[in-house]
Amino acid sequence: MLDEENKRYAALEITSKAVRLVYGYCLDGVVYVLHALETGVTALDGGIVAEHDVLVNTIKGLINAANEKLGITIKDVVLSIPPLGLAITRDSASTVTIDSSNIIQQLDVNNAISQLRKHRFQDGLKIVDVIPYTYLLDNSLSESDSPLGKKSERLTVHASIYAMQDTIISGYLSAVQAANLNVLQLVVSPYASALYMKDHEEIPSSYYLLDFGSEMTILTQISQQTTIVANTCFKYGSDRITQNLADKLQITFKEAKMLKEKYGIDKNPSFNVKIYKDFTLEDFGNNIKEAVSPLVDAIKDQINNWNSTEKRFLPVVITGGGSALYGFKELLEERLSCQIIDFTPDSFGARFKSYQNCLGLIKYADVHLANIERDEFFQTTISRVQPKVQPGKKVASYDIDEEL
C-alpha cells in the first residue's frame, strides 16, 4: 500500500497559450486540489512544440513556484497531450494468473497490458497509452472494472490503444524532461477530460466531447463513458473570434478580448443602445456568430460523418476555456439541433473550465497508476482481436485557413 504522500500527484498540461499545473489527490472518485497554477506562454504552433527553450523555462518557473508554495519538491508529473492525428485501435491479451490460488493480482493485469503495449502501428507512430475497458474471466464472466482479488485461472484484457506521431510526442517529453521532471504517464487530453466527468450524473454514457480552446478545438466521440471512438482537431479557437472583433472594430486584440468576455452573444432585445463606439450589443453578437460559423459548420459536418447510421445526434458536452463565451451553448443548440451540456469542473480550488484536463490527470493517476508495481512482468500469452474498420473513423485534421 502506498503512503498518503505518494498518492498525491502533479498534473501538467501544455496548451497553445499557457502551461497549467494541478497538484492534488483523489479520494472515493473525487479530485481534491491542493494547488493549481497556470502561466501564460506561447510555445506551441498548432499543438506542436515550436519554442523548446521558452517552454522549458516556463515549466521550471511553474514547478518552482509550486514547490515554494507547497514546501515540497515535485519530481514526477502526469502529462496531458493533445490528440493530434490520434490513431485508435482495440486489441486483447490473455494471461494465466500467477497466483497458485488463481486470485487475480495487479501483476496479472500488468502482464496483459505489457503485451498490448507491443501492438504494432505503422512506422512513425508511437503508443501513448493502453486503456482497458473489459476484463474477461473464466466462464465468460465480464468485468468493466479491474477484477483484483477475484478468482480466475485466465484473465483476458480488452483495451483501447492510442498512438500518435513520435515526433509530436518527443517534443512534449523532451521539454518536460529538460525541466528536470520525470513523466509518469502521457495521457491524451480527451480521455483525461472524460474520466473526470465519468461520475457526474449529467454526463451521458455516449456523447461528443467538444474542447474549445484558444487556438485549437478538439472534437471527440466518447462511448462507454470514457472510450474514445473517434477524434479530430480543428486549428481554430476562441482567439479567432477575438481577432475578428479586433479587425471589425479596429481596436487592439486586448480590447476585443475584454469586450468579447463582457458581452458575448447576447440577444437581449431591450439593450439596443450603442455600447462601444457605433456598435450595439446586436452588432457584437452578430460579429461573434459570423466568426465562429466556420467552426460550427465543420463540427456539424464531422458529426454527420460519424453519425451516418443514426437518426439524431448524440448530446454534445462542451468544455475548454473558449466555451465560457456567453451564448455559445445556445448557438450550438440552434445550429446542431441536439442537446448541449455545458460542463464546468466542481473541484474546489480549480473550478475553471481550463483546468479540466489536469483534474482528469489526477483521477487518471488514482485509477491507473496508484497500485502498479512497475517493471515486474511475467511471461504471458496473447491473442489478437482485429479491430473492426468502420466508415468515418479516419482522423480528420483541419487547417482553418484552407478548410474553414
Does the pLDDT of residue 8 top 50, yes or no?
yes
pLDDT, one tens digit per residue, over 21-36 is 999 999 988 999 999 9
pLDDT, one tens digit per residue, over 176-185 is 999 999 999 9
Q: At which residue does the C-alpha cell 456539424 appear?
A: 300
Question: What is the per-residue pLDDT for 404?
Answer: 57
* Better-predicted residue by pLDDT, 351 or 14: 14
Q: At which residue does the C-alpha cell 460579429 appear?
A: 287
CA-to-CA dists, residue 201 to 65, 197, 198, 340, angstroms: 36, 9, 8, 15
Does the pLDDT of residue 338 top 70, yes or no?
yes
Confidence grade of residue 373 (pLDDT, cut at 50, 70, 90): very low
Question: What is the per-residue pLDDT for 79?
Answer: 96
Whether 87 contacts 119, CB under 8 Å: no
Closest CA to 64 of 173, 185, 184, 180: 180
Question: What is the per-residue pLDDT for 60?
Answer: 96
Confidence grade of residue 45 (pLDDT, cut at 50, 70, 90): confident
Would you tell me how many other CB atoms lie within 10 Å of the CB of residue 75? 12
pLDDT, one tens digit per residue, over 95-127 is 998 888 889 998 999 999 999 999 988 889 999
Helix 166-178 vs helix 52-70: angle between axes, to the nearest 10 degrees? 50
Average pLDDT, whole number, for the chain?
A: 86
CATH code of domain 233-342: 3.30.420.40
Whether 300 contacts 293, CB under 8 Å: no
What is the rounded CA–CA span in Å between residue 174 and residue 171?
A: 5
Does the pLDDT of residue 202 top 90, yes or no?
yes
Does the pLDDT of residue 394 top 90, yes or no?
no
Does the pLDDT of residue 346 top 70, yes or no?
yes
